[in-house]
């Protein structure tokens, strides 16, 4: 049933699944963040490509867990889709959704990523260059396709409702959740598996290196190289992973007795429209204001901003200025990239697992490695765990191409 009068239905999150540099469950991720651990290390296995050991934040998978996904689906999965599939399994298990609903036509799947599988793309390009085209199979093509994560996860669960892929670089995961919210509000679905996933490879880090956005120096303490908002920040560290959420129409969830983790109350996305790589503080601020207006919430009601800040000079300063313009200096703002690196298209949805933990436990997690603030001054930047109630949170994602996305989350209490 599509609503005729455009009244908005509410969207609840009933399941969260995570694959991350700090562990492959939502609980492992949150525990690592609370313990202030870092998932960043020297990527010694990439030494030949870079001539030194740059920093990265890789995922470590248990082969036995991977094999829980059927070979029929697994053979068309690169790491991006594999991360998404494992995270989706956790989210669906927590949600308690009856498997029968997936074939009802009322459940969708929206999973974003920067591209399909960079590692599979590299394998195919090298094989072509070396004249080994016959070594490739059709599976390589399916792994590389931009919607690989979304269609593979849909196949895992037999989902036959709407299936989409948001491919807006680092805003992909948050845009997927925004699209899920809008489908639910319009009455087109009752639930959506939504979020983002991405894998990190030498090619991915090299792309940021070419843009002078990578923290590429060799360091005896690689875990200190990702420094969002810090005066000494030199760029981002690439991570990888997935964050998949079960987003469900509120009454649908309540009727079946599901636990409501939190509500997605509002969403907005916009485009700066003037520069491919420079963040625009005015449009970031407008995006947050639009998301709050969509939720019917004022800036004064917000308890916490989960920032996108990746550790780049221009991007962090622009987001800090936008937060200052919208919220002043009283609302705490932090970034989790110091712990996780930048998990790219996964970052927005993956970090919401931590936001849920903060809402549940009444804390705000700090920005790891933040020591001195200069150009990002004028906002409240906690440097240690802050005990306070978090009822309303704004989550930001900002991507190359001038893409901004903001999601407003409300606790279930």
pLDDT tens, residue by residue, 70-101? 999 999 999 999 999 999 999 999 999 999 99
Asked whether residue 183 falls in the same domain as residue 280, the answer is no
Q: Are residues 274 and 384 in the same domain?
A: yes
Within this chain, do residues 315 and 172 fall inside the same structural domain, yes or no?
Answer: no
- What is the per-residue pLDDT across 289-324, written as a single tens digit (0 to 9) for each? 999 999 999 999 999 999 999 999 999 999 999 999
Residues in Cβ contact with 14 at an 8 Å cutoff, skipping those fewer than 6 apart: 94, 95, 96, 97, 246, 247, 248, 253, 258, 259, 260, 261
pLDDT digits over 364-396, tens only?
Answer: 999 999 999 999 999 999 999 999 999 999 999
197 & 286 share domain: no
| 211 or 394, greater pLDDT | 394
* pLDDT > 70: percent of the chain: 99
For residue 2, is pLDDT > 70?
no
Q: Per-residue pLDDT for 5 more than 50? A: no
Q: Which residues are catalytic?
A: 170, 308, 342
Which residues neighbour 312 within 8 Å (Cβ) at sequence distance 6 or greater?
Answer: 213, 233, 235, 236
pTM: 0.96
- The percentage of the chain sitting over the pLDDT mark of 90, rounded to a whole number, equals 88
pLDDT category at 8 given cuts 50, 70, 90 is confident
| 220 and 106 in a common domain | yes
Residue 1 resides in a domain: no
Q: Could you tell me the sign of the dihedral formed by the alpha carbons of 61, 353, 147, 241, in that order? A: negative
Number of structural domains found in the chain = 2
Residues 106-162 pLDDT 10s: 999 999 999 999 989 888 888 888 889 888 888 889 999 999 999 999 999 999 999
Final residue before a domain boundary, out of 201, 223, 255: 255
* The predicted structure's pLDDT at residue 6: 55
Q: Is 67 helix (H, G, I), strand (E, B) or coil?
A: coil
Which of 265, 78, 91 lies closest to 192, judged by CA? 91
**357 and 222 in one domain?**
no
**What pLDDT does 133 receive?**
86
Structural domain of 345: 266-411
């Amino acid at each position: 049933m599509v609503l005729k009068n455009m009244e908005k239905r509410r969207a609840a999150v009933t399941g969260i699944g995570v694959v991350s540099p700090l562990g492959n469950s939502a609980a492992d991720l949150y525990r690592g963040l609370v313990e202030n651990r870092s998932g960043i290390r020297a990527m010694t296995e990439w030494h030949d490509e870079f001539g030194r050991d740059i920093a990265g934040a890789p995922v470590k998978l248990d082969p036995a867990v991977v094999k829980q996904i059927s070979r029929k689906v697994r053979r068309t999965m690169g790491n991006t889709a594999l991360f998404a599939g494992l995270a989706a399994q956790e989210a669906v298990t927590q949600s308690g959704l009856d498997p029968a609903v997936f074939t009802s036509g009322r459940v969708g799947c929206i999973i974003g990523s920067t591209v399909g599988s960079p590692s599979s793309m590299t394998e195919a390009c090298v094989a072509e260059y070396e004249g080994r085209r016959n070594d490739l199979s059709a599976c390589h093509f399916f792994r590389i396709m931009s919607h690989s994560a979304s269609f593979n996860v849909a196949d895992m669960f037999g989902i036959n409702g709407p299936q989409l892929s948001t491919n807006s670089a680092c805003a992909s995961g948050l845009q997927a959740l925004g699209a899920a919210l809008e489908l639910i509000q319009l009455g087109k679905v009752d639930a959506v598996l939504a979020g983002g996933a991405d894998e990190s490879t030498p090619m991915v880090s090299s792309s940021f290196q070419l843009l002078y956005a990578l923290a590429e120096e060799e360091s005896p303490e690689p875990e200190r190289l990702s420094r969002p908002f810090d005066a000494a920040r030199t760029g981002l560290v690439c991570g990888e992973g997935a964050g998949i959420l079960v987003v469900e129409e509120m009454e649908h969830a309540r009727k079946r007795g599901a636990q409501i983790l939190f509500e997605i109350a509002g969403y907005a996305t916009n485009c700066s429209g003037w520069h491919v790589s420079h963040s625009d503080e005015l449009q970031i601020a407008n995006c947050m204001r639009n998301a709050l207006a969509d939720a019917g919430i004022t800036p004064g009601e917000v308890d916490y901003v989960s920032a996108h800040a990746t550790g780049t000079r221009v991007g962090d300063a622009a987001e800090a200025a936008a937060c200052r313009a919208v919220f002043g200096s009283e609302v705490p703002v932090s970034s989790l990239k110091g712990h996780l690196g930048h998990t790219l298209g996964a970052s927005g949805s993956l970090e919401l697992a931590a936001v849920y933990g903060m809402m549940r436990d009444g804390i705000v997690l700090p920005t790891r490695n933040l020591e001195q603030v200069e150009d990002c001054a004028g906002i409240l930047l906690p440097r240690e765990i802050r005990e306070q109630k978090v009822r309303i949170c704004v989550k930001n994602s900002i991507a190359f191409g001038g893409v901004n996305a903001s999601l407003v989350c409300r606790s279930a209490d």
